[in-house]
Amino acid sequence: MKQEKGESLRAFMDRFSKVCMGIRNMMTEIAMHHLVSAVRPGRFTESLIKRPTKNMDELKNRATKFMQIEEHIDYHMIHQFEGADKGKEKEKDRGNKPTLGRFDCFRENQGPRFLSFTPLTLLRGRVLDEALQTKLIPTLKQSQTPRNADTSKHY
């Protein structure tokens, strides 16, 4: 049993509880152990791995908190999209081209977010040098070479 793609944590936990109740003599430790591998990777899973629960009540309480967070985010995402859709409808009524919304980074198509870019007047290398000098881009520190490393090879 695994949490399906698009299935909320609340729906999965309800389904998981029903399956566990249907198994006679199910040990709670086994159910809690299998829950970690059954839930999709995310903050709830990280929480269970970092701080394992001691009993089923603690597990349900923690799951409830994460369900509330998930539902809160979903609620705000829906309302943000509704507000953005109303703004786009107004622009369409005026005959203007709609602009990209604030939360378009959550869209299914992960193509470019911007439609036009400012052309560079300098060479890319010169822009990179200036960005490195002003510390806009972090530089990587060279790691120490191990004592027993083959110095004829490098990466």
Indicate the pTM of the whole model.
0.46
pLDDT, tens digit, 9 for 90 and up, residues 47-77: 888 888 888 888 888 888 888 888 888 888 8
pLDDT, tens digit, 9 for 90 and up, residues 118-153: 787 888 888 888 888 887 877 777 778 788 888 787
The owner of tokens 């509880």 is 17
CA distances from 67 to 74, 133, 155 (A): 10, 46, 46
Picking from 72, 66, 62, the residue whose alpha carbon sits closest to that of residue 43 is: 66
In angstroms, rounded to a whole number, what is the distance separating the alpha carbons of residues 100 and 104? 7
Q: Which pLDDT score, from 0 to 100, does residue 101 have?
A: 47
In angstroms, rounded to a whole number, what is the distance separating the alpha carbons of residues 129 and 138? 12
Structure tokens at 90: 């107004």
